Amino acid sequence: MTTIDASTNQTVVPERARWFTHDRFGLFIHWGIYSAIARYGRGGLAEWSKSMDQISEEEYQTYFETFDPDLYNPVAWAKSAKAAGMKYAVITTKHHDGFCLWDTQLTDYKATNTPAGRDLIREWVEAFRAEGLRVGFYYSLIDWHHPHFPLDGFHPRREDRVVRAEARDISIYLEYLRGQVRELLTNYGPIDVMWFDFSYPESDWGWAKGKGRDDWQSEQLLELVRQLRPDILLNNRLDLPAAADFVTPEQVQPRGWIEVDGHRVTWEACQTITSSWGYDRDNLDWKSPDLLVRLLIDAVSKGGNMLLNTGPTARGEIDPRSQVILGELGAWMKCHGPAIYGASASSFAAPLDCRLTQRGDRLYVHLFSWPMTHLFLEGLAGKVRFVRFLHDGSRIRFHDGTLAGSHTTPSGVTTDVLTLELPSQRPDVLIPVIELYL
């Protein structure tokens, strides 16, 4: 099972997961027939519209019958992801609404039977692999379409609770769920990540409880996944903490390296460019490229990854607004990859308003705000051979000790300090990074 490295208090990353903690940055894609509804504006969660707006099956069927992604070009998506510096991608094969993007044999509720007329996942997998990206499948445990998914408080139609709640047999749904997972992990080559969503056993709506490992029969599902793909990386949303390869904070940055049972674990923050996951035309919560780079740096400085989401349009294009942002992230990543890929938390202390990442004997200082000509680094006197800006490789002068006239660092430490001499003018990159050769 899991091994702990006593010197770092870290769970040892198994061989099969090394790529994941190296690659750090992935693309999350939420795409489905909800992409045509394209709301919620402020507050987000456009992909939850069927539930939040209590949309009937009849109305929702319209979005199924008109789903026609004539501009779908997964090769272009893959190229955008790669140019943004992403190394892997995860797509919603099925979201909570139950609509399947692949040619499943287990339901008619699939892209094949819409005007799209084909398996959209197969092309996606091929396109992303061709760009050298790893591929992952998001699969919703929740299913608002399947007739045997037991109703609970997330169910779209409130009146259904009374009328339709009784005749549901979860064992029939679980056969379906396992059958679909078998298809996904058998028919598309070696899938790298399995991203289930989600368990909510603590929810209690009075008339119905939430669902967790006992409802999903998670142990059985786990066994199936491991049997089909022993090396796949499994997220932590089956409500089986010990079986998870990584932990998945959603729309939140942890305060530090995430610990489970007191040990640092592999984790991936999922963040989304707007506050929705699915395409949300009127969303007002766009994150700037500057903020998104900070989120990525922050994750890596705490030993984690970032899976950044965009919701393509109903016609199959990555939202042009997202494309611009991905392009800007790519421009930063092009120069700053060495501070992200293969890098992790550092045990040195970060100066105020900075994040540190480290990769072997290279230490990276990410400057979230620009200091006035000097940066004081505690605990680094006599330990540094060379210092430069990462974006252009230009050297930065440094010397041991604090500056004559400044006497102390902001925290009052006067010994064991390395002082860097910075230009007054902040380099014109999203976040400037200084590389120190230890």
State the residues that interact with ligand H79 by CB under 6 A: 30, 45, 47-48, 51-52, 197-198, 250, 270, 277
Q: What's the min distance (Å) between Cβ of 52 and ligand H79?
A: 5
* Nearest distance in Å: CB 108, ligand H79: 23
Nearest CA to 183 out of 229, 216, 148, 141 is that of 229
Minimal distance in Å, beta carbon 401 to ligand H79? 49
* Residue 184 Cβ vs ligand H79, minimum distance, rounded to whole Å: 16
Calpha distance 159→428 (Å, rounded): 56
Nearest-CB residue to ligand H79? 277
Single-letter code of the amino acid located at 64: F
- Is the CB of 51 or the CB of 419 nearer to ligand H79? 51
Closest to ligand H79 by CB, 52 or 75: 52
**Shortest distance (Å) from residue 210 CB to ligand H79:** 10
Our CB check for ligand H79 shows the closer of 30 and 146 to be 30
Structure tokens at 36: 């045509």
In the bound state with ligand H79, the residue whose beta carbon lies nearer, of 173 and 198, is 198
Residues with Cβ within 8 Å of residue 168, at least 6 apart in sequence: 147, 148, 149, 150, 151
- Give the CB-side neighbour count of residue 117, counting CA atoms within 13 A: 3
Contacts of 238 (CB under 8 A, 6+ apart): 141, 196, 199, 213, 216, 218, 221, 222, 244
Nearer CB in complex with ligand H79: 268/317: 268
By C-beta, is 179 or 210 nearer to ligand H79?
210
264 Cα distance to chain centroid: 18
Q: Report the residue number, 84 or 91, with the smaller CB distance to ligand H79.
A: 91
Kindly list the strands in the beta sheet with 263-264, ordered across the sheet, starting from the edge strand earlier in the chain: 4-5, 10-11, 263-264, 259-260
| Cβ closest to ligand H79, residue 153 vs residue 337 | 153
Tell me the CA distances in angstroms from 26 to 135, 303, 308, 365, one per residue in order. 10, 15, 6, 22
| C-alpha span between 38 and 385 (Å, rounded) | 53
CB 189 within 8 A of CB 132: no
Cβ at position 319, least distance to ligand H79 in Å: 16
What CA–CA distance (Å, rounded) separates 70 from 115? 9
Give every CB contact of residue 306 below 8 A, 6+ residues apart in sequence.
Answer: 24, 25, 26, 268, 269, 270, 271, 295, 296, 299, 300
Tokens of 283: 């969303």
In 2-111, where does DSSP find H-type helix?
A: 18-23, 49-52, 57-65, 74-83
Nearest residue (CB) to ligand H79, 48 versus 102: 48
Alpha-carbon span 38 to 314, nearest angstrom: 8
The CA-to-CA distance between both ends of the chain, in Å, stands at 35
Nearer to ligand H79, 210 or 330 (CB): 210
